[in-house]
């Protein structure tokens, strides 16, 4: 190495030129994505066989990379930004979200400690305080109270709601054990957690990861129609565990379940958790952001008064490029108590003064990206009025879907529509047995998905499958709903030719 080779970092001019090329690629992709099949049609292994992962010896051009993206990757994408992506929940990117994220990539700051980039931490505190207020959580979850005094709680951006739920459980365990869980470990078989049978699987995963094990999870029955948690059953389950000498640690209430979008009665659940001193975590991953609209503020009722922690995902319905999951706690000392560690190499005067927040103590990871910047960019670029218009558009589209389902004798609702989500299945009346109806429910969805015209997903209640049609994509217009309905109608006619 007498002559050191220089690494081929792009010059400022090369970067400008190539970035403009990528920007144009994205703009073109968004404009044309609606013409592609939503669900990728590739077979397992096809992309891996086509793509060469070998690291070349010499630098390759951006043109070569983009050509491979077009030829080999795009056919293997299921297009989440497609106007007729109605599966799972919307996972919106948005032009503003992409701009904010790009800015964050360019700055490349790492906010593990306040000191490692104060603006990363403080913008996050400020933005989450204001978002908490806008969502109706009240200043009980804010870093700064309404009167400007320091709060006991606060918000943090996590990567996903799964991580938020996991950290909520660790905080709850910390509180329930007086800190002994972190030092001594958990006592096997002693602690229990609760949610409805419709709760997201991340609760089970959190129980597995925290050392409690799956056996700690109590899944409580729901109302057979609304799919909301039955508070009487919850109370009984907690009382039975207490009577048996176990320690109930956390109840997770769902505001918008992954299946049918059911909103659990948070206030009534909160009365139970308060009585028993159990941590109440509210999983509003999808639906919580709807509370930005005054007419939907009810979804977060009870949170301000009774919840201990709350999560909603701007990366789902709120136009913020993945990942951005906003998580709040009423008492940050439990969370930080469960997760803080201060090795020598992270010591610094700001931390030791106690005057700052070090977000590394608020989640499992140490390193962290400047995610508040993209959220802030989105919130400002749309404004409340624009965000509400976006949310309302998805809800109006779902109302149209529900209307179409209602008017069609071949179909029935599987649960009440909630906000942007409609759950339906083949009606089993009219000479069609439930078994055959269920089979056809799957068949209809599979055919629509295979057609590439739209992408729907499914769920199950009381052993019966249903189709989920989740509106809320930023590129989705009324015509996309009609076009998808036409494909569904055609498929139903094919499958039920005699009716």
How far apart, in Å, do the first and last CA atoms of the chain sit?
79
Q: In whole angstroms, what is the distance from residue 144 CA to residue 373 CA?
A: 19
**What values do phi and psi take at 114, rounded to 5?**
-55, -45
| Minimum gap (Å) between residue 431 Cβ and a copy of itself | 27
> Between 99 and 268, whose beta carbon lies closer to a copy of itself?
99
Going by their DSSP bridges, the two strands 191-196 and 325-329 should be labelled as unpaired
Residue 231 CB, nearest distance to a copy of itself (Å)?
23
Query: What's the closest the beta carbon of residue 486 comes to a copy of itself, in angstroms?
Result: 22
Query: Hey, which residues does 156 pair with through a beta bridge?
Result: 327
Residue 13 vs 407, nearer CB to a copy of itself? 13
Burial of 173 (0-12, 13-18, 19+ CB in 10 A): buried
Considering beta carbons, is residue 272 or 324 the nearer one to a copy of itself? 324
Q: Which is nearer to a copy of itself, 35 or 57 (CB)?
A: 57
Closer residue to a copy of itself, CB minimum distance, 104 or 270: 104
Q: How far is the CB of 494 from a copy of itself (least distance, A)?
A: 20
The residue among 34 and 270 lying less far from a copy of itself, judged by its C-beta, is 34
Handedness of CA 174, 177, 183, 184 (dihedral sign): negative
Task: State the minimum distance, in angstroms, from the CB of residue 52 to a copy of itself.
Answer: 8
Minimum distance of a copy of itself from residue 481's CB (angstroms): 13
The distance of closest approach from Cβ of residue 83 to a copy of itself in the complex, given in angstroms and rounded to an integer, is 12
Dihedral sign, Cα of residue 61, residue 67, residue 70, residue 71: negative
Neighbour-count burial of 430, counting CB atoms closer than 10 A to its CB (0-12 exposed, 13-18 middle, 19+ buried): exposed
For 355-387, b where at least 16 C-beta lie within 10 A, e where not — what string?
ebbbbbbbbeeeebbbbbbbbbbbbebbeeeeb
The distance of Cα 436 from the centroid of its chain, to the nearest Å, equals 34
Q: Which is nearer to a copy of itself, 29 or 485 (CB)?
A: 29
Pairing relation of β-strands 464-470 and 421-426? antiparallel
């Amino acid at each position: 190495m007498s002559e050191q080779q220089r690494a081929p970092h792009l010059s400022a001019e090369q970067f400008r030129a190539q970035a403009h090329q990528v920007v144009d690629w994205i703009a073109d992709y968004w404009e044309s994505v609606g013409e592609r099949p939503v669900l990728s049609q590739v077979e397992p292994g096809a992309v891996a066989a086509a793509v060469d992962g070998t690291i070349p010896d010499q630098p390759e051009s951006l043109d070569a990379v983009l050509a491979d993206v077009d030829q080999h990757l795009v056919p293997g994408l299921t297009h989440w930004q497609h106007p007729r992506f109605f599966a799972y929940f919307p996972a919106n990117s948005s032009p503003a979200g992409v701009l904010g994220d790009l800015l964050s990539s360019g700055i490349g700051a790492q906010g593990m400690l306040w000191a490692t980039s104060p603006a990363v931490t403080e913008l996050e505190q400020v933005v989450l305080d204001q978002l908490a207020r806008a969502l109706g959580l009240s200043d009980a979850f804010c870093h700064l109270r309404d009167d400007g005094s320091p709060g006991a709680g606060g918000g943090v951006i996590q990567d996903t709601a799964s991580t938020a739920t996991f950290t909520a459980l660790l905080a709850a365990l910390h509180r329930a054990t007086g800190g002994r869980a972190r030092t001594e470990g958990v006592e096997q078989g002693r602690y229990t957690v609760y949610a409805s049978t419709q709760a997201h699987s991340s609760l089970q995963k959190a129980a597995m990861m925290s050392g409690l094990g799956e056996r700690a999870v109590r899944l409580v029955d729901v109302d057979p129609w609304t799919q909301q948690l039955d508070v009487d059953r919850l109370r009984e389950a907690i009382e039975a565990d207490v009577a048996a000498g176990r320690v109930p640690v956390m109840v997770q209430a769902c505001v918008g379940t992954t299946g049918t979008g059911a909103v659990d009665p948070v206030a009534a659940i909160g009365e139970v958790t308060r009585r028993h001193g159990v941590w109440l975590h509210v999983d509003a991953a999808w639906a919580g952001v709807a509370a930005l609209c005054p007419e939907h503020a009810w979804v977060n009722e009870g949170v301000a008064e009774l919840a201990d922690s709350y999560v909603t995902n701007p990366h789902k319905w709120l136009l913020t490029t993945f990942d951005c999951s906003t998580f709040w706690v009423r008492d940050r000392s439990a969370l930080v108590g469960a997760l803080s560690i201060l090795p020598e190499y992270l010591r610094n005067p700001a931390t030791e003064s106690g005057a700052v927040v070090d977000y590394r103590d608020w989640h499992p990871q140490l390193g962290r990206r400047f995610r508040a910047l993209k959220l802030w960019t989105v919130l400002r670029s749309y404004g409340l009025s624009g965000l509400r218009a976006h949310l309302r558009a998805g809800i109006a589209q779902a109302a149209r879907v529900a209307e179409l389902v209602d008017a069609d004798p071949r179909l029935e609702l599987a649960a009440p529509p909630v906000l942007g989500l409609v759950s339906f299945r083949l009606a089993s009346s009219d000479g069609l047995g439930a078994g055959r109806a269920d089979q056809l429910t799957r068949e209809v969805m599979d055919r629509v998905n295979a057609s590439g015209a739209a992408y729907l997903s499914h769920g199950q209640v009381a052993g019966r499958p249903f189709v989920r049609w989740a509106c809320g994509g930023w590129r989705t217009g009324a015509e996309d709903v009609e076009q998808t309905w036409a494909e569904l109608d055609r498929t139903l006619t094919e499958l039920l030719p005699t009716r």
